[in-house]
Copies of this chain bind each other. A is one copy, B any other.
């Protein structure tokens, strides 16, 4: 028996998914699907908020993201995967929720503030971008999600959602909307190959789940280690060394890892040896994913069928929620 809670997560289809997504979220979804009713949304509408000039990219990546899901073991018989743009009720809910949030409140949302800066939007924030936490509130509530696995940086979005839910239930004297709890991911954001930022498609510092063995090797070899570790015999730094950061996350042999760290710190352990060790571990993890992905990618129409089936299931739930919302808003003519 699954727990009563309803889990919702999702991804913007603006590129294929990477190792950061895997450890931060995908791996966890494979576990959660056995415990909860789980929905995973391919957020194409949200992806357009900062890719509106490139809709083809968003469209193309819907299938890429779905391939990643299935390849890592998200099982469509246990998890309902759906496409956001095919649930118009989310747009309807968003419009009604926009009345319950002030512009100032949206401007003060820390997640949005950071992301506006990241994208250089300061002087000309697209209205759709400013509103996206409201549309996330609609995503969550349309399926009555109660557990939302997120990174720490997304907590303000859940707070915003709950504010909207409370305001809605209070003003319309109802309890049709249910508050959501954030579930923090155990692994903090994975740093990118450069060690500068979190792993991200747009920063070009990512290892993608579909990367070939060759590409994976190249990417591991390009990792930032310690800029003062010039000769093998030199002592090297472990802290801030991306290879060790990754080993901390992916190497299950704790004893060996601890030895390697000591060896590296006293000198005599070369970067190439170390990187080869990490490569082997990552390759072992990624090989079955890569292979499954390759097979699945041979029949993309089959993938689309899975998405359409999941979307049809969500559509039924969305209509039910929307009917309750309409009744609360006295719009049930």
CB pair A99 B126 closer than 8 Å: yes
CB pair A52 B100 closer than 8 Å: yes
CB pair A88 B91 closer than 8 Å: yes
* Nearest CB of chain B from residue A134's CB, rounded to whole Å: 7
CB pair A126 B100 closer than 8 Å: yes
| Measured CA separation A100–B44 after assembly (Å) | 16
CB pair B48 A129 closer than 8 Å: no
CB pair A127 B123 closer than 8 Å: no
The interface residues of chain B lying within 8 Å CB-to-CB of A49 are: 98-99
* Nearest CB of chain B from residue A165's CB, rounded to whole Å: 15
Task: State the main secondary structure of chain A at its contact with B.
Answer: helix
- Known contacts A333-B83, A333-B308: A52-B99 contact under CB 8 Å: yes
CB pair B96 A48 closer than 8 Å: yes
With an 8 A cutoff between CB atoms, is A172 at the interface? yes
With an 8 A cutoff between CB atoms, is A131 at the interface? yes
Surface stretch bound by B, among A31-39, A101-109, A221-229, A257-265: A101-109
- Known contacts A91-B92, A92-B88, A123-B104: A330-B58 contact under CB 8 Å: yes
With an 8 A cutoff between CB atoms, is A118 at the interface? no
- Known contacts A88-B89, A89-B88, A330-B56: A129-B99 contact under CB 8 Å: yes
The interface residues of chain B lying within 8 Å CB-to-CB of A92 are: 88, 91
| Measured CA separation A127–B107 after assembly (Å) | 11
Which of A53, A92, A99, A126 gathers the greatest number of chain B CB atoms within 10 Å?
Answer: A99
The interface residues of chain B lying within 8 Å CB-to-CB of A129 are: 99
Q: Which residue of B lies closest to A307 (CB)?
A: B333
With an 8 A cutoff between CB atoms, is A135 at the interface? yes
The interface residues of chain B lying within 8 Å CB-to-CB of A55 are: 172, 328-331
The interface residues of chain B lying within 8 Å CB-to-CB of A136 are: none
- Known contacts A85-B331, A330-B58: A99-B123 contact under CB 8 Å: no
User: Mind listing 24 A-B residue pairs with CB under 8 Å?
Assistant: A44-B331, A45-B96, A52-B99, A52-B100, A52-B171, A55-B328, A59-B330, A59-B331, A85-B326, A85-B331, A94-B95, A98-B127, A100-B128, A101-B126, A101-B127, A102-B126, A103-B125, A103-B126, A103-B130, A104-B125, A106-B127, A127-B131, A304-B333, A307-B333
* Contacts A45-B95, A49-B99, A88-B89 known; 12 new A-B pairs at CB < 8 A: A59-B330, A86-B333, A88-B88, A91-B95, A96-B128, A100-B128, A101-B127, A101-B128, A103-B103, A104-B123, A127-B134, A307-B333
Q: Which residues of A contact B (CB under 8 A)?
A: 44-45, 48-49, 52-53, 55-56, 58-59, 62, 83, 85-86, 88-89, 91-92, 94-96, 98-104, 106, 123-131, 134-135, 171-172, 304, 307-308, 326, 328-331, 333
